[in-house]
Structure 1
């Protein structure tokens, strides 16, 4: 059970003061019954809420799947550069949103945007080994020996990578499907660079067991379902 003013503030992304004002003016209804007491308590997940006779929806946290385009950075504040949060549709924006993890500016694909710090930590923590899957287009082909080196874990200058999966896509050894379970800086590019191979294009297509929605065009996004949120943490 939660106070109505807090529920309304969260649902409308407004201050508690403004939520209290709406309630006291009789503009808020629960199950179509006008409630003027900001301290009244309701089940935040079960209450049917209305503001000015239009239904509104309470979500403590939001989880957004974006097909990230090139040219935007994985941050909530780009300090002058356009971010993934900046390009969200206006009706999806709310306070405290941030990208869970990062993709390089020129990397595309599955970006999770949320305000749930606990879930983001679970996904990103190296201890949990949540897999992330990428498609890498290369300037030259790899071979079976490189596949074995990926599996063993490549020793970079500053750290050793955990074992990773690498396989050709449709038999093409110049396009690799890569699965990693950590997120070091420029990791995939550096892993291929270890063998003098450059990554020409990189796209993340999966987090945990959740695939990027193939219906999302570049730059488009949508909310995740409860089932999809759970699958983000599948190992």
Structure 2
């Protein structure tokens, strides 16, 4: 949101549109109806300049607290793509309320269409860059159900780095076997895997490199941010101040 860099001010209609109160046209109508006030004084001109940090803005008596950025934790469901728009599939943005979609957030990184779990959405480009920069090696942990018996040989292979189908050798990863298959190659093993990079379909390709296939994949953490167990698939919430502070401490 553009704010006058010199005066620290912005138009009241821009502020209210940014906060999801309505369209520019609707805000103009609210002002003409005397429903907008700044510091207790009715505002008829929706183009009036206000200081979002100092002025009290109300609509129908309801305070509107300005914020520039939004930070959302989503438990991404299957069948939805991690993009802002798509010509064929629903996107994670389609799951947002109008209030939050109005901030024009974008997913920080991607989860495959059939992968579920933690996805951060924000309009804070600086924070997104910090979390996605290859130089930062931000750890990401996944829970997976893998066909076959995942054993200590796989743990050692992942710790050393495995060669993917395109010849790329992954950075060392921490594989923890939660439950080995009791039916050998015909059963399922349950694991957690922590990686520090984000190659295309990386977790699935790593297991293919050791002759196994991922049947179910869920991201449970990204850096210090852990998926809220109370969030059902397709649900989301704003980050708490504590969670945001943890992420910003990485910068």
TM-score (norm 1): 0.87
- Structure 2 partner of 1:102: 110
- Structure 1 partner of 2:147: 139
TM-score (norm 2): 0.82
SS of residue in 2 equivalent to 1:155: coil
Deviation per residue, 1:159-190 (Å, 9 max, x gap): 22111111122x54611111111111000000
- Bigger Cα displacement from structure 2, 189-198 vs 3-12: 3-12
**Structure 2 vs 1, CA of residues 143 and 73 (structure 1 numbering), >3 Å: closer, same or farther?**
same
- Structure 2 partner of 1:160: 169
The answer to whether the Cα contact below 8 Å between 2:18 and 2:102 also exists between their aligned partners in 1 is no
Structure 1, gaps ≥5 residues long:
none
Cα distance between partner residues in 1 of 2:95 and 2:50: 36
SS of residue in 1 equivalent to 2:155: helix
SS of residue in 1 equivalent to 2:19: helix
Structure 2, gaps ≥5 residues long:
1-7, 182-188
| Structure with the greater alpha carbon radius of gyration | 2
SS of residue in 2 equivalent to 1:204: strand
The answer to whether the Cα contact below 8 Å between 1:208 and 1:233 also exists between their aligned partners in 2 is no
Cα distance between partner residues in 1 of 2:137 and 2:245: 15
- Structure 2 partner of 1:225: 240
Q: How many residues align?
A: 233
1:14-163 map, 5 Å: 19=27, 22-23=30-31, 26-36=34-44, 38-42=47-51, 44-45=52-53, 47-156=55-164, 157-163=166-172
- Bigger Cα displacement from structure 2, 26-35 vs 84-93: 26-35
